[in-house]
Amino acid sequence: MKIVVIGGTGLIGSKVVEKLRAHGHEALPASPNSGVNTLTGEGLAEALAGAQVVIDVSNSPSFADDDVMEFFTTSTRNLLAAETEAGVIHHLALSIVGSDGLPNSGYMRAKVAQERLIRDGDVPFTIIHATQFFEFVRGIADQATKDGVITVSTGAVQPIAAEDVATAVARGAVAEPAGDVEIAGPEKFGMDHFVTTALGHFGDERAIIRDPDALYFDTVIDEHSLVPADGAATLYGITLDAWLAQQD
């Protein structure tokens, strides 16, 4: 089966391409580096010719509110139109658990807009809502850093390894379109615990302040904002400790 992976050079995309190829599929990584640009439409028709499935694991190069909204809406419109033209029978995109409950975050608003376009479109779809990737922990710390001090939320997270996300995406792409589904890691704890544990392991010596009102990408998060409801998600196995041990 020919499967086009938009964002196939990225963190998740490169692992998805590897897994699909290992299972005998023709996985084509597509991104600006290989002449395919979903924002401008460049190279899309050629890449999608003969494809049955398109996976979208691309990400906006800029997280500024207007840029990220423009990226996910224009890219998704271009992609869905090209898929209809090419006769693609399954569009799979990666989004975030809790995206629709955090309207103060420009990034979440853009992901919700992306999801809406997919649901309202003509191509049968799967939207996998994942929790935060372990690999994203430095990004979380950096956006919470001011004057060298990290002020991090105590709200709950249930992070997942990129390896497990890629497994879920690759499995989802070769299955029937499933609508909206959720995936998460095996353990739930505070974002403060996540950041403190990982940065401690990496020898990052920034001071950390725990604050329930600290902003996470412009929004306050609580015990429920970023984690799936009990029983709602498929849970994957790699723990934070196991992932940290793999980073040495």
- Measure the CA–CA gap between 62 and 211, rounded to whole angstroms: 27
Q: Is 63 in the site for ligand NAP (CB under 6 A)?
A: no
Look up residue 121 and give its two tokens. 């479109």
Smallest distance from the beta carbon of 122 to ligand NAP, in angstroms?
21
Q: Is 32 in the site for ligand NAP (CB under 6 A)?
A: yes
Number of residues counted as binding ligand NAP (CB under 6 A) = 26
Q: What is the DSSP letter of 37?
A: -
Among 28, 94, 102, 170, contact with ligand NAP (rule: CB under 6 A):
94
- Options 93-101, 116-124, 181-189, 203-211: segment touching ligand NAP (CB under 6 A): 93-101
**CA dist 246 → 18, 195, 201, 240, 241 (Å):** 19, 17, 11, 10, 9
Smallest distance from the beta carbon of 53 to ligand NAP, in angstroms?
16
CB of 3 within 8 A of CB of 54?
Answer: yes
Closer by beta carbon to ligand NAP, 33 or else 246: 33
* Amino acid sitting at position 34: S
Closer by beta carbon to ligand NAP, 52 or else 95: 95
Smallest distance from the beta carbon of 172 to ligand NAP, in angstroms?
13
Closer by beta carbon to ligand NAP, 11 or else 89: 11
Give one word for 48, left, alpha or beta, with left for phi > 0 and alpha for psi -120 to 50.
Answer: alpha
3-state secondary structure of 157: strand
CB of 54 within 8 A of CB of 90?
Answer: yes
Binding site for ligand NAP (CB under 6 A): 6-7, 9-13, 31-33, 36-39, 57-59, 61, 94-96, 111, 130, 132-133, 136
